[in-house]
Amino acid sequence: MPELTGKQRRYLRGLGHHLDPVVMIGQRGLSDALERKVDAELENHELIKVRIGGGALEDAKEAGAALAGACSAALVQVVGNTALLYRPREDDPEIVLPR
């Protein structure tokens, strides 16, 4: 995934503002099953929010960066305990980023 420009990050933050988290990280932290779930959700939605619970072993920045790396996605932003991840679909991407 190429690095996002500031303009692209701003655009994705705007799109992600109204989204609800589709994946929750709990006390067990990151696992292979969680990475597969995030990968599947990114393929379905392209832009997802991940909520990191208070009892999680990692903080939100660490967990977001780890998930982005494991799923070949871009970490758009981390606010509080929520990370926003983006990865375009391989076939027929829905979100078109500004240049």
pTM of the model: 0.93
Residue in 27, 20, 33, 30 with CA at minimum distance from that of residue 82: 20
> Which stretch of DSSP H or E encloses residue 40?
helix 32-45
Q: Is the pLDDT of residue 43 over 80?
A: yes
pLDDT, residue 90, reads 87
Q: What is the mean pLDDT of residues 48-75?
A: 92
CATH number of 6-86: 3.30.110.60
Domain residue extents for the chain: 6-86
| 2/5: higher pLDDT | 5
Residue in 18, 51, 17 with CA at minimum distance from that of residue 34: 51
How far, in Å, CA of 24 to CA of 82, rounded?
9
* pLDDT confidence tier of residue 67, bands split at 50, 70 and 90: very high
